[in-house]
Amino acid sequence: MTKSRRPVKTFFIIIFLIFGLIFVKEKLLDINSDLAGDHFDSKYIYVINRESKNQVMNKNHKVRTFPASFTKIMTTIVALENIDDLSSIAPIDVNTYKEMVNNNSSMAGFYGKEQTTYRDLLYGTILSSGGEAANSLAINIAGSVENFVKLMNNKASELELYDTRFVNPEGLHDKNQYTTAYDMARLLDYALDNGHFRAIFTKETFNTTSTLDHPNGVVLESTVLSKLHDTPQNGFKIIGGKSGTTYEAGQCWATLAIKDNIEYIAIVMGAELEDINSSGNAHIKDTIKIYENLHMFH
């Protein structure tokens, strides 16, 4: 009686499938590694799925770097958690206004002593990345920049952002102010759960209240969304963001996008910056490439 060879065939089929799966996995890992390596100018990248909270992609995501104006994400959420009425008057602080001008900070366009509201300052901090707006929030809320920075670092500790430390609310370079792409993604994910923060972060333009200095208000424009008008977004939509740029930090973008009805956060940091007036937009190109290729990381 001839013995059946079916078990032998089944064994070889299983072995073939196992090696086939290993080969495919290695190829996918090679693709992911390639995309996360030389094909991106940003030195530090972290991408998360907001629905599952799972990591989608990373590159040097826990290596400390400088936050530049990503700092203002923390400034804004801390301010929101300490303001009772967004319509209350919160004037522009004169001393920090002069300091920001002297240090060539990005500005929202307010004047010293201008009778702005908290809402004006919040939008000025995120949309226009205004140094005078960020510092005036700090002064009006905590009485001093130093006291407000303590609130920022307390929040960082509360959120277990172990590689993040702040020394100012506007993000001008300081060697003792640092973060990681990983920490920034987690901070932004937390902040977006606040309805006011989300409204600010996803707004393209905002007209501030009428004051004696600006009877028609100041038109504020998102430094992220305003850059995307002529940029194709195939299969995804960037709906909010915050930029950050210093020579030390490089070009940085923190964005919120929707793809296949799922929200994603992409943090790109550290793209080289040789001329602040002609950046080359490496951070924007990296961000678009990430969202276009999200399917390759799953």
Mean pLDDT, the chain, as a whole number?
Answer: 90
Neighbours of 252 (CB within 10 A): 28
d(CA 164, CA 2): 72
Question: pTM here?
Answer: 0.87
Domains of the chain from N-terminus onward: 40-297 (3.40.710.10)
For 24-38, 160-174, 240-254, 282-296, which range has the lowest pLDDT when averaged over its residues?
A: 24-38
Reduced to 3 states (helix: H, G, I; strand: E, B; else coil), residue 188 is helix
Q: 29 pLDDT band (50/70/90 cuts)?
A: very low
Instruction: Give the distance from CA 142 to its chain's centroid.
Output: 25
Residues 248-293: pLDDT tens digits? 999 999 999 999 999 999 999 999 987 666 567 999 999 999 999 9
d(CA 62, CA 245): 20
Question: Hey, CA dihedral for 178, 105, 268, 225, is it positive or negative?
Answer: positive
Q: Does position 24 have pLDDT exceeding 60, yes or no? A: no
Instruction: Give the distance from CA 104 to its chain's centroid.
Output: 22
d(CA 110, CA 133): 8
Give which of 261, 206, 266, 269 is closest to 241, Cα–Cα: 266
pLDDT at residue 280 in the model:
78
